[in-house]
Structure 1
Amino acid sequence: MTFEQRISAFNELGQFFNFIIDNEPTTDEKLTQKFEKWKEEAESAIRNAEAHNNWFIKENTTLAFKSWATALTTENLTNWTKDYPFAKQAKNVGIIMAGNIPLVGFHDMLSVVISGNNALIKTSSKDDKLMKFVIKYLYSIDEEFESIIKIIERLQNFDAVIATGSNNTARYFEQYFSKVPNIIRKNRTSVAVLNGTETTEELTKLADDIFNYFGLGCRNVTKIYLNDEKQIPTVFESLYDWGVKVINHPKYANNYDYNRAIYLLGKDDFLDNNFVLLKKDTNLHSPIAVVNFEIYKDINDVKNYLIENEDHIQCVVGHDMKENPNHVEFGQTQFPKLTDYADNIDTLQFLAEI
């Protein structure tokens, strides 16, 4: 496939995601007819994904589709790739995907394919329904994708590897794939730094950064820095609209009940609004249904700490954090651009150099 054909294919996929979300016809009647034929299968994949993994409720899958529909335009794809000297000879790149949120491994597959390489994909058992459906749709665009994108059970005959897992599995990956070029991703999380000047709208958007995908993504905010404890009631109030959405989900409610019980037994100090726990804790990572917070005196101490620990942080939200390389605007953590790479490793540059 030519570079232009790959760009066109992923642009069509983005339009299809838009069609699934809004059911609005495109200007191309023939393409709209194709979308209508595929929509039932898409809806079936969404239902199967939720049945297989209860965290993948329809709203979350739709959110993932919306994010990718925004990114997969011809203009975005062209601007993203135009400065990379991709090799003319395709390499086989193994991809071991995560499965914590819907289509979380899609960016790696897109990067490998758009750069002219072959993707050997080991899907996560948590997210194989949606990924397999998306790949099947790409096959419908151009049958050449069948030789470019392959779902495999075991990696073999590969020239490079992109693997995502926990900190524990990363140690195994680093050893096992040490002889080939690799990207090994570990656990990350995101933080917000508040100075008291935030508007109600910004704090409401911060609630989205916390609760989208039930807080399961590395781009979800799990730690908040405050400069005054008096901000806590305002922060709690901004989270209120998410209460019914999350606490009525059995898995989330179980995590909330479990963590609350653990903190009570341990006589830990925490604040509770019946659907999320706010705990004073220096840790960046927090369990599901818990948001850690810390009171700071000097903003420069926070800035320095976040830079020193940037290997653990994906996104940083806050007015005073715009100089941080991981800065993201309020409400945008789960809407990454194509250039927002996981673990801040430029995947396209890596692929250009193998």
Structure 2
Amino acid sequence: MSRTEKVAALVRLGQYLAGNDPALQTAKDQAFQANGWFTEDFVNISLKNICQYFLDEARLNNWLDGYPAIPAISRSVGIVAAGNIPLVGFHDWLCGFLSGHQVRLKLSSKDTVLMKHVIDKIAEWYPEYAAQTQTQDMLKNCDAYIATGSNNSSRYFNYYFAQYPHIIRRNRTSAAILDGTETFEELEALADDIMIYFGLGCRNVTKVFVPENYNFDNLLKALGKYDSLADHHKYKNNYDYNLALFLLNSSQYLTNGTILLNESPSLFSPLSVLHYSYYTDAAALTEELKGNEDMQALVGHGFIPFGAAQQPGLSDYADGVDTMQFLTTL
């Protein structure tokens, strides 16, 4: 099928995912039963963003215009998908689908239901595509690989896939630089960047940098937008555990009863904890963060707007590696 036909198929998928089909609702319910972190609210946010930023016809065509035509020779591409947030592997599958390669997809046990529902729906509508994507438990004898995992698993991926063209991704996270002039509305938008998906995504802000003598009152109030997360038992268990550690270690912390703020040099923070550090030179800090290989997204005035960290576009590639360029030039 031509590029035009594939784009049309994806636009149809977007219309389906934005609707209220009973089969889609069943898939959402089953996804939550399989993974308690995939609440309906957060699944709906993921679907909304995918439909708006990935499956819009104009956005798709503008994005594809920047790449060579679909290769004449189809390769088999093994994709090891992550499962930390709903449909996190969708963009890799989308790139494989549009590039015309045979996609061999190893799904995460944490995000099997939703990804399979998307793939099965495309196969149902377009039987000629059914063979292009296959889900497999083991990925062997592929021509190229894309794998996403932890820092530890990335070492194994590099070992096993070294002789093949590959993209290997590791742990990343995101941060925000505050200058103290933020409005309360901007801080509430920042709360989205921090708390959506319980903070489990690489685009979730896990650390904020603030000027000296910064007053955290408004930030804590803004984070209260997500007080309902304290009713989620998995999240609450993490909050209680980390609070106990701070108390036992006599560590200083701030809290609004739902999230803990702790001063720390680390970009990565435990679930239910937001790290912070003070800065004096914003320009030097910006250069340092932009050169940090652990950084996925930087939020703040002059950077990604507050509230937009979880709304990546088609060209916002994980780890900054252009997946579509990789696939179209195999």
* TM bracket (short chain): over 0.9
Q: Tell me by how many angstroms 1:257 deviates.
A: 0.4
Q: Which amino acid aligns with 1:57?
A: T
Name the counterpart of 1:24: none
How much has 1:301 moved relative to structure 2?
2.5
- The gaps in structure 1 that reach 5 residues or longer are 21-38
More helix by share: 1
Identity value in percent: 42
Q: d(CA) in 2 for partners of 1:236 and 1:88?
A: 55
- Structure-1 residue corresponding to 2:247: 264
Deviations 1:186-230 (A, max 9, x none): 000010000011111111100000000000000000000000333
Inter-partner Cα distance in structure 2 for 1:184 and 1:280: 31
Matched, 1:307 2:290: yes
**Contact 1:97/1:121 (<8 A) preserved:** yes
**Could you tell me how far 1:8 is from its partner in structure 2?**
0.8
Cα distance in structure 1, aligned partners of 2:154 and 2:122? 30
RMSD: 1.0
TM-score, length of structure 1 as denominator length: 0.91
Partner of 2:19: 19
CA deviations 1:126-181 (Å, max 9, x no partner) are 00011111111111221112110111111123111000000000000000000101
In structure 2, C-alpha distance between the alignment counterparts of 1:114 and 1:147, rounded to whole Å: 14
Aligned 1:64-103 pairs, distance under 5 A = 64-71=46-53, 72-85=55-68, 86-103=70-87
Which residue in 1 is equivalent to 2:94? Answer: 110
Say if 1:317 and 1:328, in contact at 8 Å, map to a contact too: yes
CA distance in structure 2 between the aligned counterparts of 1:296 and 1:272, rounded to whole angstroms: 21
- Deviation of the 1:118 alpha carbon: 1.5
Specify which of 331, 336, 342 is matched with residue 312 of structure 2. Answer: 336
Structure 1 CA distance for aligned equivalents of residues 124 and 260 of structure 2 = 46
Shift of 1:89: 1.1
Matched letter for residue 122 of structure 2: L
Q: How far apart, CA to CA, are the structure 1 residues paired with 2:262 and 2:29?
A: 35
Task: Give the one of 310, 321, 324 matched to 1:345.
Answer: 321
SS of equivalent to 2:71: coil
Q: Is the 8 A contact 1:219 1:333 kept in 2?
A: yes
Whether the 8 Å contact between 2:220 and 2:255 is mirrored in structure 1 is: no
100, 103, 107: which one aligns with 1:123: 107
In the alignment, the residues of structure 2 paired with residue 114 and residue 330 of structure 1 have an alpha-carbon distance, to the nearest angstrom, of 31
Show the counterpart of 1:186: 170
Query: Corresponding residue for 2:133?
Result: 149
Please give the alpha-carbon distance, in whole angstroms, between the structure 2 residues aligned to 1:118 and 1:181. 15
Instruction: Please tell me the residue identity of whatever aligns with 2:15.
Output: Q
SS at match of 1:191: strand
Q: Does 1:241 align with 2:236?
A: no
Of residues 135-144 and 103-112 in structure 1, the stretch that sits farther from structure 2 once superposed is 135-144
Number of residues paired by the alignment?
Answer: 328
Structure 2, unmatched stretches of 5+, are none
Please say if residues 3 and 116 of structure 1, whose CA atoms lie closer than 8 Å, have aligned partners that are also in contact: no
> Is 1:298 aligned with 2:281?
yes
Runs of 4+ in 1 over 3 A off after TM superposition: none
Q: Whole-Å Cα distance in 2 between the matches of residues 336 and 50 of structure 1? A: 23
Q: Spell out, residue by residue over 1:58-96, the C-alpha distance to the aligned partner (whole angstroms, 9 max, x if none).
A: 111111110011020111111111121131111111000
Would you say the 8 A contact 1:93–1:117 is kept in 2? Answer: yes
SS where residue 238 of structure 2 aligns? helix
TM-score, normalised relative to structure 2: 0.97
